[in-house]
Structure 1
Amino acid sequence: MAQASYKQFCPVAMASEVLCTRWTLILVRELVAGTTRFNDLRRGVPKMSPALLSTWLKELELSGVVERRPLHTEKGVFEYHLTAAGKDLLPVIEAVGKWGQKWVESSLSLRNLDPSLLMWDMRRNLNPTPLPPHRTVVQFLYSDLPSSKSHWWLVIEPEGEVDLCWADPGFEIDLYVTTDLRTMTAIWMGVSTLASARDSVELLGATDIVSTMQTWLGLSPFAKHKKLVA
């Protein structure tokens, strides 16, 4: 899968041979964010097939960026961890993300809508601190998507653990959020806010959860690098 060599001694060229291939930086982004399990990595890169993901993980392992570790509590299960070289890519990923957030037109980014990635990103960046000290369940309904992709649930436990569900978890719903995918993505990216998008977002549920939603929902880690647009 590795691309042809640039045949240059320059460190930028040498690094590009490892990093500037399709999917590589996106996969490293997931690893930098702390994802270690194969199935969780798939959630962060939902457009990759299992076979393709496995191939790229092997490529990163051969490049010395990733190491595979057996999970002793589950036979035959492995975790993927960044090596020292991989951890050194954190500022690289941050710099690329900041540049993209600052210089790539929002309208172009918002063409690439993906409910799976959006919900997974919200799940791992959610701040449970403002929420009540009991299990909180938030159901998202994207009115513009087919029924197979329109319903999502975030289940936030008192200890701070957050689960993302594709099927009804069977718990009482504390907040219903009805909107369209583009609006929710714009809010998450920091292009818009809940306040400015209220005509496109219907919130039904506990008052304290509704009033603190922008706080517990948070924003994309790169949102602060673009000016808010009402």
Structure 2
Amino acid sequence: MGAPYYQFCPVAKAMELLDERWTMLLLREMLAGTEHFNDLRRGLPRMSPTLLSHRLDQLQRAGLIDRVRQGTDVRYVLTQAGFELRPVVEQLSMWGIRWIGELGDADLDPKLLLWDMHRNIDHLTVPAARTVIALLFPDAHPAQRRWWLVIQDGDADVCDADPGYEVSVEVQCSLRAMTRFWRGDIEWATLLLTGDATTIGPRHLRQALPSWFTRPAYAGVPRVAVAG
């Protein structure tokens, strides 16, 4: 728990728990369906394992999550109290996309971007056979420029080394442009038209590519021009 505000106001009482660093982002990950420690780390790559363990313990003691063990498998599952924070997190994301300004270079992370994309795939639209998307981000750090998304049998994985499978579609796009597309700042057709993104592969797969993903709900929120 954070430092007490010593106010009876329920906002103050709630924020004593929720306004500590990483807590709301951890809840964001769990509301997105992540339940395992290592997967939580992939969604929060800059959060130390020690701090993640501490925050999970805090939320468990507060009654927002349960720790469920099945053999060697350990899952962290939201309770009713945790699930009731969904509209709070969703409204924060919509407010943030509507009112917060342009992204800084430090906000761009290909690993985090592809982790979010891989869990938002519409598997009903992806071809039944194994589908491999190879991505190149020329503006990323040299060690983080090449990635692969492997989609098969209703599952998906993110690879930073060539998995050795035949590539279905190759995409070259700046990391900033792909991030802006994912956030809903720009449409895929516009990226292709301006040359900010190029694709290589069979025409029907290149055309279907954007339909394979379901962007976050905040991507559809109208933007407001903020002075400065």
Given that 1:119 and 1:164 are in contact with CA atoms closer than 8 Å, whether structure 2 keeps it comes out as: yes
Residue 156 (structure 1) aligned with residue 156 (structure 2):
no
Counterpart CA distance in 1 for 2:104 and 2:144 is 20
Question: Which of 195, 201, 205 matches 2:201?
Answer: 205
- Residue 109 of structure 1: CA displacement? 6.4
- Match of residue 83 from structure 2: 87
Report the residue type matching 1:186 in the other structure.
R
Q: Percent identity?
A: 41
Pairing 1:34-183 to 2, within 5 Å after superposition:
34-72=33-71, 75=72, 77-105=73-101, 107-108=102-103, 112-157=107-152, 159-183=153-177
2:157 is paired with a residue of what secondary structure? strand
CA RMSD in angstroms comes to 1.8
Residue 190 (structure 1) aligned with residue 190 (structure 2):
no
Counterpart CA distance in 2 for 1:125 and 1:89 is 20
Evaluate the alpha carbon distance shift between residue 71 and residue 206 of structure 1 in structure 2; reply closer, same or farther with a 3 A threshold: farther
1:27 is paired with a residue of what secondary structure? helix
1:125 is paired with a residue of what secondary structure? coil
Given that 2:98 and 2:224 are in contact with CA atoms closer than 8 Å, whether structure 1 keeps it comes out as: no
Given that 1:135 and 1:156 are in contact with CA atoms closer than 8 Å, whether structure 2 keeps it comes out as: yes
Evaluate the alpha carbon distance shift between residue 228 and residue 178 of structure 1 in structure 2; reply closer, same or farther with a 3 A threshold: farther
- Residue 29 of structure 1: CA displacement? 0.2
Task: Output the TM-score relative to the length of structure 1.
Answer: 0.91
Instruction: Count how many residue pairs are aligned between Structure 1 and Structure 2.
Output: 223
Residue 28 (structure 1) aligned with residue 23 (structure 2):
no
2:66 is paired with a residue of what secondary structure? strand
- Match of residue 10 from structure 2: 11
Task: Output the TM-score relative to the length of structure 2.
Answer: 0.92
Given that 1:136 and 1:173 are in contact with CA atoms closer than 8 Å, whether structure 2 keeps it comes out as: yes
Evaluate the alpha carbon distance shift between residue 224 and residue 216 of structure 1 in structure 2; reply closer, same or farther with a 3 A threshold: same
- Gap runs ≥5 in structure 1: none
What are the superposed Cα offsets for residues 125-145 of structure 1, whole Å, 9 maximum, x if unpaired? Answer: 111222222110001111112
